[in-house]
């Protein structure tokens, strides 16, 4: 009986000693050295920089795509409007001038004469319209009369226009335009040049 008691006591004491030793080993485990800490910090920094660069390139690429699509749309509008306004029936080319706000400049204004039905279907009246470039607003507009009393209105043909020039050659009117898309800070994202020709009468 006494031997059994001593054996149990020794077993309990040995178990408690092993438990305490395990706790000591656990709490005394070696931490990260300075070299390991610096290495981990360097890896984390490289990962963050890589993610930032990828996100920045993705946003820049997306902005360029949107800008390119916007310029394509404006160029299409310019070609369509020039064909519709200059080459349509009952329209005559009155002249090509370089007057914008009274200042002599390049050939950036097209003057047209149109024959349109009057209130009486047996009569025709002549009215005028102008296709002109407004540099300060970077757009090409069509200004036309809306009534016989001289009232006029205007429609925008194209936006994002940095330059516009018209050159009449024999029976054709050639034109060149430079389109540039800017971001909110005024920096150019992309630029495109468009050229075309329409027949006039």
pLDDT digits (tens, 9 = 90+) for 25-79: 554 555 567 777 777 777 778 878 777 777 666 666 667 788 888 999 999 999 9
CA distances from 18 to 4, 22, 25, 29, 87 (A): 21, 6, 10, 16, 101
On the question of pLDDT at 99 being above 50, the answer is: no
Q: In degrees rounded to 5, what are phi and psi of residue 190?
A: -155, 155
Gap between the terminal Cα atoms of the chain = 130
pTM recorded for the entire structure: 0.64
Residue 163: band (very low, low, confident or very high) from pLDDT cuts 50, 70, 90: very high
Q: What is the pLDDT, as a whole number, of residue 2?
A: 42
Please give the residue that has the higher pLDDT: either 170 or 138: 138
- Segment 165-172 shows an average pLDDT of 84
- Segment 151-175 shows an average pLDDT of 89
On the question of pLDDT at 17 being above 60, the answer is: no
Element (H, E) at 150: none
**What is d(CA 117, CA 121) in angstroms, rounded to the nearest whole number?**
6
Beta carbons of 132 and 141 less than 8 angstroms apart = yes
């Amino acid at each position: 009986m006494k031997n059994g008691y001593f054996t149990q006591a020794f077993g309990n004491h040995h178990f408690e000693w092993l438990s305490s030793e395990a706790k000591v080993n656990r709490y005394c485990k070696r931490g990260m050295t300075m070299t390991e800490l610096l290495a981990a910090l360097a890896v984390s920094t490289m990962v963050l920089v890589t993610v930032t660069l990828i996100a920045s390139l993705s946003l820049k690429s997306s902005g360029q795509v949107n800008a390119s699509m916007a310029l394509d749309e404006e160029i299409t509008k310019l070609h369509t409007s020039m064909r519709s306004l200059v080459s349509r029936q009952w329209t005559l080319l009155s002249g090509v001038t370089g007057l914008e706000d009274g200042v002599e400049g390049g050939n950036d204004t097209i003057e047209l004469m149109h024959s349109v039905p009057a209130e009486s279907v047996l009569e025709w009246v002549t009215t005028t319209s102008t296709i002109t470039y407004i540099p300060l607003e970077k757009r090409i507009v069509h200004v036309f009369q809306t009534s016989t009393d001289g009232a006029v209105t205007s429609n925008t043909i194209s936006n994002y226009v940095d330059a516009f020039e018209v050159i009449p050659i024999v029976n054709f009117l050639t034109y060149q335009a430079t389109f540039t898309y800017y971001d909110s800070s005024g920096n150019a994202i992309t630029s495109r040049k468009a050229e075309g020709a329409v027949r006039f009468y």
